[in-house]
């Protein structure tokens, strides 16, 4: 599987889920973006580190970084390694005395740690194909999301949450991709009939 390096390109309120935020990761050598919905506390933890703010008392992620530093454990990289039922999964790849080991992590926590350690964030092509957004420049120079479901196939659609499916349905309709819209609509209907 091909690994792709990502950068944090935005942190904003989620348009699809109130009281939540979205961290948007962009591939370093490409135009795809990976929006990930996170909670407000996780968004705060990422924003504090990105802005290099120093709170009066350490946040949980700062405490975890201090603990790793104390025991001479370096966070080498973060890998967003899976997407199941619309949930992203991540691993912290750590090094201690030359030995590599992996720690399972929520994706939002992994990103918060990556910012603190200034280490790279990676994902795999299949994740960007399933959940990525491609930005296209419009005539007026602004960017808009297009081909959101780009390479989605029936298997990839089944991995997305209902909220994500609703969002993707709206986006593919705006992009006038009616064939993909029909597939997404059918998946939503299938799940509603199961409930």
> Higher confidence at residue 50 or residue 174?
50
With pLDDT > 70 as the criterion, what percentage of the chain qualifies?
83
With pLDDT > 90 as the criterion, what percentage of the chain qualifies?
49
The answer to the question of residue 44 being in a domain is yes
pLDDT in tens, 51-76: 989 888 989 999 999 999 999 999 99
How many DSSP H helices and E strands does the chain contain?
7, 9
> Higher confidence at residue 137 or residue 187?
187
Q: Which domain holds residue 158?
A: 150-194
Do both 157 and 188 map to the same domain? yes
Do both 156 and 122 map to the same domain? no
Do both 34 and 117 map to the same domain? yes
Joined together, the tokens standing for residue 89 give 């999964």
Q: Look at phi and psi of residue 89 and say left if phi exceeds 0, alpha if psi is from -120 to 50, else beta.
A: beta
Do both 23 and 82 map to the same domain? yes
Do both 16 and 92 map to the same domain? yes
Do both 121 and 156 map to the same domain? no
Do both 83 and 116 map to the same domain? yes
Mean pLDDT, residues 72-81 = 98
Distance CA 109, CA 117 (A): 12
Give the chain's domain count: 2
Q: With bands split at pLDDT 50, 70 and 90, how would you rate the model's confidence at 5?
A: very high
DSSP for 151-181 reads T--HHHHHTS-HHHHHHHHHHHHHTT-HHHH
The answer to the question of residue 163 being in a domain is yes
For 126, other C-beta atoms within 10 Å of its C-beta total 15
What is residue 155's predicted lDDT score, i.e. its pLDDT?
Answer: 55
What is residue 148's predicted lDDT score, i.e. its pLDDT?
Answer: 43
For 80, other C-beta atoms within 10 Å of its C-beta total 25
The answer to the question of residue 139 being in a domain is no
Distance CA 167, CA 191 (A): 16
Do both 76 and 17 map to the same domain? yes
Alpha helices, H only, the chain: 40-50, 60-70, 107-117, 125-131, 154-158, 162-174, 178-194
pLDDT in tens, 123-142: 999 999 889 888 655 555 54
Domain end marker among 94, 128, 162: 128
What CATH number has the domain bearing residue 51?
3.10.690.10
């Amino acid at each position: 599987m091909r690994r792709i390096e990502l950068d944090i390109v935005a942190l904003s309120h989620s348009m699809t889920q109130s009281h939540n935020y979205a961290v948007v990761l962009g591939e370093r050598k490409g135009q795809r973006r990976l929006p990930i919905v996170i909670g407000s506390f996780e968004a705060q933890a990422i924003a504090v580190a990105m802005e290099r703010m120093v709170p009066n008392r350490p946040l949980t992620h700062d405490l975890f970084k201090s603990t790793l530093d104390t025991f001479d454990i370096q966070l080498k990289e973060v890998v967003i390694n899976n997407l199941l039922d619309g949930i992203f999964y991540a691993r912290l790849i750590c090094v201690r005395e030359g030995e590599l080991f992996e720690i399972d992590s929520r994706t939002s926590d992994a990103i918060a740690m990556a910012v603190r350690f200034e280490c790279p964030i990676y994902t795999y092509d299949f994740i960007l194909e399933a959940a990525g957004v491609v930005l296209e420049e419009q005539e007026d120079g602004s960017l808009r999301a297009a081909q959101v479901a780009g390479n989605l196939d029936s298997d990839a659609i089944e991995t997305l949450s209902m909220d994500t499916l609703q969002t993707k349905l709206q986006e593919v309709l705006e992009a006038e991709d009616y064939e993909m819209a029909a597939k997404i609509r059918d998946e939503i209907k299938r799940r509603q009939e199961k409930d």
